[in-house]
Chain A
Amino acid sequence: MNQLMPLAVLLPLLAAGVKITLGPRRPGVQRVISVTVLAAVLAIAVVLLVRADRDGPQVAQLGGWPAPVGITLVADRLSALMLTVSAAVTLCVMIYAIGQDMADRERPGPLSVFHPTYLLLLAGVADSFLAGDLFNLFVGFEIMLMASYVLITLGGTATRVRAGTTYIVVALLSSMLFLIAIGVLYGATGTVNLAQLSERIAVLPSGVALTAEVMLLTAFGIKAAVFPLSMWLPDSYPTAPAPVTAVFAGLLTKLGVYGMLRAETLLFPDGRLRTLLLVAALLSMLVGVLGAMVQTDIKRLLSFTLVSHIGYLVFGVALGTLDAITAAVFYVLHHITIQTALFLVTGLVERRGGGTSLHRLGGLARTAPLVGVLFFVPAMNLGGIPPMSGFLGKLGLLRAGLADGGPLALVLVGAGVVTSLLTLYALVKVWNQAFWRSPGGVAPAGAGPAGTGPDGAVPEDAASEDAEGEEETAPPTARLPAAMVGATIAMVALSLAYTVVGGPLVALSGRAAAELLQPQGYVQAVRPMTPGRS
């Protein structure tokens, strides 16, 4: 039954190969293959989740080699949960992308480049979540990153090449740090198997362990965009096409958070870097949200809120208590969904309004009420309005912070509340300008300067300047493709469903957190031969 597990990685890889062979031929068949494969991965993930929750961590020893020698795939509750949500999100985004692709037919690129690369991305993500050894985690990250390099420079326009370069160089640097950390750990312990590492790191000299921990956390921190290491994110994400940004914002940073969660519970459970992580969380929250407040482009604004909300997750990881990890796991699931939903809606806004600059949008609430509703719900959710899942997650984190009671934790609780309010402020600003402002006063995109808006927000000749600068911007269209709207509705509904099934989901997160904090179960599952070995 555990032979299902490699399929989560292999199916997308295989399908990507088939698609590269097919090239631009048979678009209908290719779309069916993409959706089928993604749905199959989702089904596998759900099966794994059910089994992991019922019977404990599921282990697959690839090639029949036992744990420390061969490659191990492990799905415990956290891995399976992350994989399930990731698969659901990637499926929705794929449907959205297909809708967008079918709506504007003139570009032949997406099918032959986007689909295989996107499937590779999912293969990398699945491999990272299921990896049972550190090197396989590295390889999973690299598969995912290689795919993301292609996706972020899709089309090869000047802005994307510029943004993509920043992204690629930063990602490569973090990969190198990760690799050095693996080298240090292997040199010190003679293994890269996570379960075995967990046993052996405990008896390492503390200096060596600390070196490896700092390097690993730095590498994961860059991927997760924790504050001092987050500069690349708002710089590079907004230029990519809407579906790509959506899946990047939802998934890729969460891989870094997943790595941190694993490292801090399984490998280095003593929490010596707690203070450092708390400070990083505090700065991520505040700097991120302050950055978001001054942005005038919706995509960039959302990218900054992404950084600030990574701060919440790191806060939970740093506290390390059962309640904190529970809340962090729940919040990761919530945040993957909500961030993707918001970027998908931004894609709709871009199509409907002809751009994402707040200077030029206006009156969308009247002209596109459905888009308005679709934006409003996840925006309030991200801002933490009860009873939505953002509120539940934040409440859990704040309560864990209060229960901790340390001065730094209390400061973070305060910062969490402030950040939540400021996020709400930033999103309400978007709402007011893009949706509620009267459409008559604003220049429609590309129509040249039409004077200033009612609040004087449009400077002279801003429209003509921007129209020259952005070759990407499509002319506003009246009809939105049904598949795009449907996929966005599905994402928003999923984010709302977290509230409906809030009780069971929090309980499941709690069980996942308990499992994380008791690594013996994980170790036993991977290496049943050696009970109590040290």
Chain B
Amino acid sequence: MSQVTGTVVLAVGGGALVAAGVTLLLERSMVRLVVGLLMLGNGVNLLLLTGGGPAGGAPILTDGLYKVSRIRAMNDPLPQVMILTAIVIALASAAFLLSIAYRAARLSGDDEVRDDVEDRRVSGGDDELRARIREQRREFRHWSRARRREIRRARAELRAQIRAERERRAVADPAETDDTDDTGGADSPGGPGGTSGTGGAGR
């Protein structure tokens, strides 16, 4: 009925945001998904704004309630109200997605969306997939065992180093009590920091 007469900038900007948002939505990383969602939402909001027609004065009716000319010059408030609602909804969705991304990161170490295992099992043949999973699990077990051994060895080495260092100092400086102050100043980047770090990882 009424002609769409928004500015070109809004339409093009909205279109660009939607395009960028959709591109990001195709990513597997959930943080990118959230960013894509926000861009998409903002793009759509700009498009809604263009749906409200040309820019105009503030839509506040005071004494000029019945002056048709002033009503004509007003901006259409309805799309803005809709945008407000849409912003709130996008905010809530983004917050929820972020918490899910955090949860996924806690569970699996990264925030990528995985494939559906059941889907692949049904479509790809059970045995092949099972064999592959089993093999990967074995590989991972080997890798983690080796890594654990490596860490343990590194820790033992570090501990031995520290012990050697302490003994060296104890021999060089008979005053035992000053020892801690000295090492605190000299060795803190290598010694205590290293032990506590590997200790945490090992446990």
Residues on A close to B: CB < 8 A? 135, 139, 142, 146, 149-150, 153, 156-158, 161-166, 168-169, 172-173, 175-176, 179-180, 182-184, 186-190, 192, 200, 203-204, 234-235, 238, 294-297, 300, 459, 462, 465, 469
Chain B, interface SS category: helix
> Which residues of chain B are near A165, meaning CB under 8 Å?
30, 33, 97, 100, 104, 113
In angstroms, how far is the closest chain B Cβ from the Cβ of A466? 10
Residues B96 and A146 in contact, CB atoms below 8 Å apart: yes
3 cross-chain pairs, A with B, having the tightest CB-CB distances, nearest first: A187-B51, A183-B48, A183-B51
Contact A162 B104 (CB under 8 A): yes
CA distance A153 to B97 in the complex (A): 11
Contact (Cβ within 8 A) B89 A200:
no
Most buried by B among A150, A186, A234, A300: A186
Contact in complex: A187, B4 (CB < 8 Å): yes
Contacting pair A183 B126 (CB below 8 A): no
B93: chain A residues at CB < 8 Å are 146, 149, 168, 172
> With A146-B92, A183-B47, A235-B116 in contact, is A169–B25 under 8 Å at CB?
yes
B91-104 vs A, Cβ < 8 Å mask (1 yes, 0 no): 01100110010011
Closest residue to A296 on the B side, CB-wise? B122
Q: Contacts A179-B86, A465-B130 given: A166-B113 contact, CB under 8 Å?
A: yes
Interface pairs (17), CB distance under 8 Å: A135-B82, A135-B85, A146-B96, A149-B93, A149-B96, A158-B107, A161-B103, A161-B107, A164-B100, A165-B104, A179-B44, A183-B47, A183-B48, A186-B48, A187-B6, A187-B53, A189-B1
Q: Which of B78, B117, B118, B126 contacts A186 (CB 8 A)?
A: B78
Smallest CB gap from B111: residue in A: A165
Q: Is B62 interfacial (CB-CB < 8 Å)?
A: no
* Docked CA distance A270–B9 (Å): 35
In the assembled complex, which residues on chain A have CB atoms less than 8 Å from the CB atom of B116?
162-163, 166, 235
- Per-residue A-contact encoding for B20-49, CB less than 8 Å = 1, 0 else: 001001000010010001001100100110
List residues of chain A with CB within 8 A of the CB of B13: none
Residue B79 is within 8 A (CB to CB) of chain A in the complex? yes
Interface positions of B (Cβ within 8 A of A): 1-2, 4, 6, 18, 22, 25, 30, 33, 37, 40-41, 44, 47-48, 50-53, 78-79, 82, 85-86, 89, 92-93, 96-97, 100, 103-104, 107-108, 113-114, 116-119, 122, 126-127, 130, 133
A483 to chain B, nearest CB (A): 30
Q: Do residues A161 and B104 form an inter-chain contact, with CB atoms below 8 A?
A: yes
Bound Cα distance from A179 to B49, whole angstroms: 12
A158 / chain B contacts, CB cutoff of 8 Å: 104, 107-108
- Tell whether, in the assembled complex, residue B1 and residue A190 are in contact, meaning their CB atoms are under 8 Å apart: yes
- Cβ contacts under 8 Å, A192 to chain B: 78, 82
Are B44's CB and A183's CB within 8 A? yes
- What chain B residues lie within 8 Å of A190 (beta carbons)? 1-2
* CB < 8 Å neighbour of A300 from B6, B96, B103, B118: B118
Partner of A297, one of B25, B44, B118: B118
B2 contacts across to A, CB distance below 8 A: 189-190
- How distant is A493 from chain B, measured CB to nearest CB, in Å? 32
User: By the criterion CB–CB under 8 Å, are B103 and A156 in contact?
Assistant: yes
Do A235 and B97 contact each other (CB < 8 Å), given the known contacts A165-B30, A182-B82, A183-B51? no
Interface centre among A149, A169, A235 (most CB of B within 10 A): A169
With both beta carbons as reference points, the residue of chain B lying nearest to A291 in the complex is identified as B122
Shortest Cβ distance from B47 into A: residue: A183
Q: With contacts A186-B51, A187-B4, A465-B130 known, is A168 near B107, CB below 8 A?
A: no
Residues of B within 8 A of A168 (CB): 93, 96-97, 100
In the complex, chain B residues whose CB is within 8 Å of the CB of A172: 37, 40, 93
Given contacts A146-B92, A180-B44, A186-B79, contact A162 B85 (CB under 8 A): no
A184–B118 touching, CB < 8 Å: no
A139 pairs with B44, CB closer than 8 A: no
**Known contacts being A142-B89, A169-B33, is A150 close to B96, with CB within 8 Å?**
yes
